[in-house]
Structure 1
Amino acid sequence: MDNARNRLRINMISWLSYFFTGSLVSTLGIVLFPVSQAFGKTPAFIGQMFTLMNIGLFLPIMVSGMLMRHVHLGTQLIVGSAISALTCAALFIFPANITAFGVGVFLIGAASGIMMAIGSYLVVRINDDAKARSANLIFTDFFFALAGVVLSLVLGYLFKHGASWLAMYGAMGILSVLMIILCLGVKFPIVKQTASDMPVSGTQEPWGIAAWILCFALFCFLLAEPVFTMWLPTWLKEQFGMAPDQAAYYITTYWTVKSIGLFVNQFTVRFIKLRTYLLASTVVGLFSLVLAANSAAPGLILVCAGLFGFCNSGLFSGLMSYGSLQVRNSPPTLTSALLTIGTIGTLVFSSLSAFVYSQWGLHWALNTATVAYVLLLVSLVAACITSKAEKLGVPVRIHGA
């Protein structure tokens, strides 16, 4: 296989890895009600069950550095995808077994974590040029949002016409098989351990308080977004009596506008400072989230869901970039810390919001996202005040994780 074709296949693997994870995470709100009905459980209980998926996703990301140095990238992807495909098949064989469901979502989540970690690494590794890397990182992020658009539309339509919750995991099984096919015959880059992989020592440049505050900001962001997309459809069904496809349309709107924002905002940040962009996006995002979670007008909620998606489109990459720029020569350990601490938000969002649901009801479960977003804004302001990026004179632009 020639280099150009191999590079294209590797990029496609990265795109599919983000599409797979986006499919799994962004559709939880749509699949939550059909699953709770099928097993005769409350949405709060099923929300707690989805914590197993988040644990599965988090663990490979946490140990990805070690895994990638000791296990071939292609082997990890093929084995993880095979386990995911077999797990999806097993769910069809044992559709009424709640234990099988719990084990299944954990294993599929683990496969997603492997794909996400390797997909992110591959984009950075094969694109040496900074501009090419930025473009490919943003384009790869687009596939996460695209999954939310496609799967929300498809599942909303299928559930409206009486399809089982298993339709979701049938789609995941197909994506797993596609990943295996893409990986066959690809020459993956070899991961070698270097001195830069070593833990931060006392002789190296200190990260500074702003870097740690931005780790917390990422945690808040990755807590707020999935809480919003998970509980909004259920809120719309309960509050306004919407059909499943109507409620799914609101989530589709969120992801559609976010995907558009991923294209638009890569140009926006060329003309304004990253710090200004992050603050403006977070303020407007918080305003739109408050209205979307508390308005009594379905039309206004739809508009605010779209605006919230647009504001969120550049926040993940922007926060990762701003955090990495707190050190003149950003080490991989700083990027790892930002990603790992941030991903804890994804780990706990379903269990935390499900607990809030069981204690204070659906309205406050949805507004868990609002509380997290308020904390995001407060932490971002604190990070801007204590930031070293501007003093270091490093060009402050979004460049991805």
Structure 2
Amino acid sequence: MKYSFVTNEFFDCDRLDPDYWIKQQYIRNLFKGKEVVRLKDIAVEVTDGTRTKREFIKTGGYRFIGPSNIIENYINIHNLKRISGQDLKEKDFVEKGDILLTSIGKSGRVVLVPEELDGCVYSSDLIKVKILDESIRVQVFNHLIGPMGQLQLDAIKMGVLNRISISDLKDLEIPKRNTTETTVNFNDSEKEREAKKLYNYLVSRFDEVVQYKSTEDVMQIRSYVSEKTLENERWDVEYYKFFMSKLYDLIYKTDNQVKWQRLKDMVEIKKANLPEIHPEQIVRYFFIKDIDSVTSIILKYREDKFGELSNRVRIQVEEGDILTSKAGSATGTENHTTTIVTKEFESMFTTDALLCIKPKLIDPFYLLFLLKQPVVLKQIEMKSTGTYIKLIQNKDFENIMIPRLTETIEYDISMGMKKFIALNKKYSL
């Protein structure tokens, strides 16, 4: 039987759960011999957001950042709601460079507030950390999103809601680093910000032409469905809302700037045909969880004997292939996973939970961009079946309508996405 004693020096009467103390002991051992500083000693402010009654408005007021807007280490700026300025306090606003952290549910997600969100209001389910010194701020941010920081945050979560308290966060120990190391982290953060700024520019240029905002597309269902619309395979109400949406009207409307085409007319969806490989041969492979849904890059791969692979790992990829999720709870949502296979992942294997698309009459980087946009994701969502684990069939995916823009705009978006991927690959290393 393994046991451990907690000395009076570290004992806290507010935390009596053994798991907490086991994690704390493990962290102390990792920090042994390292110089550390508590977060409260380097931050000028550690506080939560507004607790005023949330009455969202369509125009005016202030943009509102909630936990659902934070995806991994990125703020989704395209689905922000607005809140009136009534009863707001100075502490309820964020500034460029503030660190935000989710404190409940999927707690422990950490982001830096970009310049375009300066002056937004944030939720009481988020904690703001304000550090004036930029180099220290970036050092803290990189620590919190790293393995050690995430382990520390995981250790202070409480209850079934995984709540992180302000007091526990203030006492978090941050290892001091030398100047050289801090400079490297700062440069990485600059690349990340450059990538986000570039992507937001591409989205704004695309939106100017396509003009679709999913947040304004309120889908309603009538008490009847026309016979030509009714399908024997689909009896779910949500599916038929799609036919009465702004999106449905949009994708069947062609003008001088936008022409809509079915995906199957531009690509080939590759079938899972495994080559003949000796069971003892070592091969490389990756899963859907190894792909960052925000940056669209493959973060890592694995190695194993071919004969030991899961029977779901059935697709061998080539450079230029587009991989996009066909099954899972995030399919068709803002967390939908899509990536492009770059040279270093050529000939690796992946799971059949991803559709493998070979672009034929469309630039692969432009297609990658499209598979991250609401105008396409909403179609995927509506064509998917299942309540919790969604699945879209190949034949339904092939009939997704794709906006074709002018040659100049498509080229600019494609080149921008190439740079976006390159910046994020450097940032992830």
Q: Name the structure with the higher helix share.
A: 1
Same fold per TM (> 0.5)?
Answer: no
Normalised by the shorter chain, which TM-score bucket?
under 0.3
Higher relative contact order (CA 8 A, sep 6+): 1
Output the TM-score relative to the length of structure 1. 0.27
Greater radius of gyration (CA) = 2
